[in-house]
Amino acid sequence: MGPITIFILALIFILILTARLRVHPFLSLIAGSMLVGILAGETEGTMEAITAGMSSIFAEYAIVVTGGSIIGVILQKSGATSIIADDIIRIFKKPVMALFLLGFMFAVPMMCLILAFIIFIPVAKDLSEKLSLKKGVTESALALGTMVSFGLIYPSPGIYAFIRDMGPTTEISAFRVLITGLFIAVPVSLAGYLYIMKIYDMRAKEDYFRYAAPAKDPAVVSLLPTRVACYAPIVIPVILILIRITTHSPVFYFIGNPGMALMSGAVIAMVLPTRKFGSADIRAWVEKGIRRSGLVMLDICGGGALGATLAMAGVGEAIGDMLLVSSVPPLLIPFLIGAAIQTVQGSRMVTLFVASALVVPIMPQLGLPAEIVLFSMASGTFLISHFNDPFFWVLGDFADMETPEILKTYTIGGIIMGITSMAITSIIYFAFY
Q: Which domain holds residue 312?
A: 3-432
C-alpha span between 193 and 127 (Å, rounded): 17
C-alpha span between 336 and 355 (Å, rounded): 10
Q: How long is the chain?
A: 433
C-alpha span between 348 and 152 (Å, rounded): 12
HSE, CB side, 13 Å, CA atoms: give it for residue 300: 28
C-alpha span between 100 and 190 (Å, rounded): 10
Q: Considering just the CA atoms, what is the radius of gyration of the chain in Å?
A: 22
The answer to whether the beta carbons of residues 137 and 196 sit under 8 Å apart is: yes
- The reported pLDDT for the residue numbered 408 is 92
C-alpha span between 170 and 368 (Å, rounded): 12
- The reported pLDDT for the residue numbered 150 is 86
Q: Is residue 283 classed exposed, middle or buried when 0-12, 13-18 and 19+ CB atoms within 10 A define those classes?
A: exposed
Distance of CA 361 to the CA centre of its chain: 28
Q: Which residues contact 125 (CB under 8 A, 6 or more apart)?
A: 76, 81, 138, 139, 399
Coil, strand or helix at 276: coil
Q: Which residues contact 384 (CB under 8 A, 6 or more apart)?
A: 339, 342, 343, 411, 414, 415
The amino acid occupying position 235 is V
C-alpha span between 296 and 117 (Å, rounded): 13
The tally of domains found in the chain comes to 1
Instruction: Provide the terminal-to-terminal Cα distance of the chain, rounded to the nearest Å.
Output: 43
C-alpha span between 121 and 138 (Å, rounded): 9
- The reported pLDDT for the residue numbered 167 is 65
7 φ, ψ (degrees, to nearest 5):
-60, -45
- The reported pLDDT for the residue numbered 275 is 67
The answer to whether the beta carbons of residues 120 and 263 sit under 8 Å apart is: no
The answer to whether the beta carbons of residues 310 and 5 sit under 8 Å apart is: no
Cis geometry, peptide bond prior to residue 25 (ω within 30 degrees of 0): no
Residue from 328, 333, 321 nearest 364 by CA? 333
Long-range contact pairs involving 317-324 (C-beta distance under 8 Å, separation at least 24): 317/3, 318/2, 318/3, 318/4, 319/3, 319/4, 319/343, 319/344, 320/358, 322/4, 324/362
Residue from 412, 413, 405, 288 nearest 19 by CA? 405
C-alpha span between 232 and 83 (Å, rounded): 13
pLDDT by residue for the chain (433 residues), tens digit each? 888 888 888 878 887 887 678 787 788 889 989 999 999 998 888 999 999 988 987 887 788 878 878 887 888 788 787 787 677 767 777 878 888 888 887 777 555 788 778 878 888 888 788 777 888 888 999 999 999 988 898 767 677 777 776 766 566 777 788 889 989 999 999 999 999 988 888 765 444 544 444 555 454 455 667 888 888 888 888 788 778 767 778 888 888 887 888 899 889 988 887 667 788 888 898 998 888 788 778 877 887 888 788 888 887 677 667 777 778 898 998 898 888 878 876 767 667 766 776 677 778 778 889 899 999 999 999 988 888 788 888 888 888 888 889 999 999 999 999 999 999 999 999 998 8
The answer to whether the beta carbons of residues 199 and 409 sit under 8 Å apart is: yes
The amino acid occupying position 270 is M
- The reported pLDDT for the residue numbered 412 is 94
The answer to whether the beta carbons of residues 70 and 120 sit under 8 Å apart is: no
- The reported pLDDT for the residue numbered 216 is 54
The answer to whether the beta carbons of residues 192 and 144 sit under 8 Å apart is: yes
User: Whole-model pTM?
Assistant: 0.70
What is the maximal distance between C-alpha atoms in the chain?
Answer: 71
